[in-house]
Amino acid sequence: MTSDTDFRQQFLNFALSCEALRFGEFKTKSGRLSPYFFNSGQFNTGEALGALGGYFAQALLAAKVPFDMVFGPAYKGITLVSALAIALAEKGHNTPFSHDRKEAKDHGEGGLIVGAPLKGRVVIVDDVITDGAAKRASIELIRSHGATPAAVLIMVDRMERGTGSKSAVQELEADYGIPVIAIATLNDVMKLVADNAALSQYQSKIDAYRGQYGVQ
């Protein structure tokens, strides 16, 4: 039987094998020099995408958040929500899904939403939360259709501060009162490094980075 911790470590090892998770020195969007970097664009084969959808489904079901459908914001979220919906169906949860367009379509079926109509309790799925702007826009879009945002589902929570004392994840949770669910967090990354002799050289660097930029 796979425990909650097991699938998170399995996901990180899978990310390592795809080179989606890398260790070294990387300049982040905020200008910080991070000892690790996560690039979701490396999940770029059918096999990798299928596995990723499975990990998303495990994380969502483990969180025990009631939901009626899943939604992916364009563009990255389109692929992710499709993979998640397939994985959920394979686990016995045949869940409606949809995504938005960057620009409204004025012919054919028209509108901003592609797929199932937004209704009930909706989980938003995307790769990461950087400043939270895209997720806030999705929350407002869902509400404008009379549906209820139930949670935000992401791959990795870096657990680091933005411009204030809170992380973008914590700010989003506080502002909207909905949970952010991550397949893995910085805590899980630190466990991976601690348990893997080949990665042990990065442990002190990650500890120092967390000490400088981390949140509880």
| Full set of structural domains in the chain with CATH | 4-213 (3.40.50.2020)
pLDDT for position 77? 94
Residues annotated catalytic, as ranges: 105, 107
Per-residue model confidence (pLDDT) at position 105: 58
Residues 160-164 have a mean pLDDT of 84
Question: Shortest CA distance to 125 belongs to which of 115, 135, 111, 114?
Answer: 135
Other beta carbons within 10 Å of 55: 23
Instruction: Give residue-wise pLDDT tens across range 53-95.
Output: 999 999 999 999 999 999 999 989 999 999 999 999 999 999 9
96 in Cβ contact with 123 (< 8 Å): no
Outline where DSSP puts E strands in 95-185: 97-105, 111-115, 121-125, 148-157, 180-185
d(CA 23, CA 37): 6
Helix (H, G, I), strand (E, B) or coil at 26: strand
Q: How confident is the model at residue 4 (pLDDT cuts 50, 70, 90)?
A: low
State percent of the chain over pLDDT 90.
83
Per-residue confidence band for 1, with pLDDT thresholds at 50, 70 and 90: very low
Beta bridge partners, 122, equal: 69, 149
What would you measure as the largest C-alpha separation in the chain, in angstroms? 57
Is 93 strand, coil or helix?
Answer: coil
How far is 28 from 40, CA to CA, in rounded Å? 14
Mean pLDDT of the chain: 92
